Amino acid sequence: MTQQLPYWRLSAFYFFYFGLLGTWLPYWSLYLKSLGYSSGEIGILSALVMVTKVIAPNIWGYLADRYDCRTRIIRLGSLMAILAFAGVFWRQDFYWLAAVVVGYSFFWNAVLSQFDVLTLSHLSGRYARYSLIRVWGSIGFIVAVLAVGAWLDYHPIAHLLLIITGLLTAIWLGSLLVAENPQGLSRGDRSPGSLRRILSEPAVLAFFATSFLLQFSHGPYYTFFSIYLEGEGYSTTATGMLWSLGVLAEVLLFMGMHRLLARFSLRHILIASLALTALRWWMIAEFAASTALLIVAQCLHAASFGSAHAAAVETIRRFFTAHHGQGMALYSGLSFGAGGAMGALFSGYAWDIGARYSFWVAAAAAALAAWLAWRYFETPTTSADANHRSAPTAGVD
């Protein structure tokens, strides 16, 4: 008998987790700017969130796979993130904020990759429903971007701290509502040698290289897009609408992602996603003053994050069949962590040279990633995926 899927409990966690992301990404840099920090300092404080993502998911992923304590890690990480972030209410000097950001993000970044594995454990044999759960993360992002943007148009930017604290609390409460299905994912061979063999495959190395470059290219966008739009004369509400438009395009893509995965190989999806990402950054660099063209560029978020990430999670599922937690942690750490941190640091120092220059470099990085994927990446196949075409897996946000 198939265990009932806790659809709404899983979806609620993603809704609040990405609601926090939809609050942090567009408005945290505006809060830092209101405190008088320079572009370089904003870049450093943004990069610190990414730096912890290099380390934290791998530590927690190893512990979860080794000791089967995934649910406890998710709940502990969510709770400790609340306590660490509370430090922002005491002081706002640079080094104190840096310490708070490192502490908070070390625990917060431990949560998502392990919750992805928890979700997979409940989707055994029903992977096509993955995107139908994770799409609520996109919806949460859109709701947060629009609601917080509208709120901050009429209230002090300091209210952002209370909103973030509330969302962190909701994430922790959501983590208490669902536990792992121990029968959902096969343990397989968890020997260290098995993991080393996977990591030595050329296609895996190429995959991680392209993931790093893709997230590096997002550095100017995630760190300075709101400030960029403010300089172009867009209001906070308009900025929020443009952020949410990209995620809305992502939602629509998720609705049909299982069909794309059934029709096209992961290799073709990844190459197309990276090429469209390069186009997106070039358009933002050249046509930010044109609202119509900026809307088109934002719709390409469906490729630069949506389909690229969907293909990445499916790649991890197929390659790391016996090491799901560590595979997701490596992907998170090398792409969103190392790639995101380097992108944020680059953009922080390059922004004063020129906003357009930053997005040109981002476009070049995405184009290089597309070439690497075309040259070296091959679609992974395993015996477990023999019926993949008849039961496709959907992607994630």
Q: Which residue did the predictor score with more confidence, 197 or 392? A: 197
| Neighbouring residues of 283: CB distance < 8 A, sequence distance ≥ 6 | 293, 294, 296, 297, 300
Residue 356 has pLDDT above 60, yes or no: yes
Pair of tokens at residue 303: 């490729």
Helix, strand, coil: what percent of the chain each, to 5?
Answer: 80, 0, 20
Token representation of residue 318: 């197929």
Tell me the pTM.
0.75
pLDDT class of 160 with cuts at 50, 70, 90: very high
Give the orientation angle of helix 112-122 with respect to helix 324-331, to 10 degrees. 140
For 239, the token pair is 């900025």
pLDDT averaged over every residue in the chain: 85
DSSP classification of residue 37? -
Q: How far is residue 74's CA from residue 310's CA, in Å, rounded to a whole number?
A: 22
pLDDT at residue 1, as a whole number = 39
Domain 8-182+193-381: give its CATH superfamily: MFS general substrate transporter like domains (1.20.1250.20)
Sign of CA dihedral 284, 285, 286, 288: positive
Average pLDDT over residues 69-85: 92
Longest CA–CA separation in the chain, Å:
62
**pLDDT band per the 50, 70, 90 thresholds, residue 385:** very low
pLDDT in tens, 125-144: 666 577 778 889 989 988 99
Between 181-190, 275-284, 292-301, the lowest mean confidence (pLDDT) is in 181-190
Predicted local distance difference test score (pLDDT) of residue 128: 56
pLDDT for position 70: 82
Res. 386: pLDDT tops 70:
no
pLDDT of amino acid 381: 59
**More confidently predicted of 168 and 120:** 168
Closest by CA to 317, choosing from 255, 235, 264, 394, is 394
Rounded distance between C-alpha atoms, residue 41 and residue 39, angstroms: 6
- Joined together, the tokens standing for residue 108 give 């917060």
Least confident of 9-18, 87-96, 168-177, 378-387: 378-387
Position 185 pLDDT exceeds 60: no
Q: What pLDDT, on a 0 to 100 scale, did the predictor assign at position 3?
A: 61
State how far the Cα of 49 lies from the Cα of 108, in Å rounded to an integer. Answer: 9
Return the pLDDT at 396: 32
**How many CB atoms are closer than 10 A to CB 353?**
10
Q: How confident is the model at residue 274, as a pLDDT?
A: 97
pLDDT of residue 395: 33
Q: Can you give the pLDDT at residue 46?
A: 84
